[in-house]
Amino acid sequence: MYNSENEVIFPAKAIPQLKGLRGPLWDNLVDEILTKDPESLEQLAFVMTVVRIVGCSGCNSDSFRAMRGCARCAQQGIKRFRGSDDDLVNLYEKAKKDVSAFLNKQ
- In this predicted structure, the answer to whether residue 27 has a pLDDT above a threshold of 80 is yes
Please, is 49 exposed, middle or buried when counting C-beta atoms within 10 Å of its C-beta (0-12, 13-18, 19+)?
buried
User: What confidence score (pLDDT) does residue 1 get?
Assistant: 44
Q: What is the pLDDT of residues 4-14, one digit of tens each?
A: 555 678 999 99
Q: What is the pLDDT of residues 44-93, one digit of tens each?
A: 999 999 999 998 887 776 666 667 788 898 999 999 999 999 999 999 99
With vertex at residue 75, the alpha carbon angle to CA 71 and CA 76, rounded to the nearest 5 degrees, is 120
> For the chain, what is the mean pLDDT?
90
Q: CA-CA distance, 86 to 101, in Å (whole number)? A: 23
Residue pair 66/11 in contact (Cβ under 8 Å)? The answer is no
- Residue at 98: amino acid letter: D
Q: CA-CA distance, 106 to 93, in Å (whole number)? A: 20
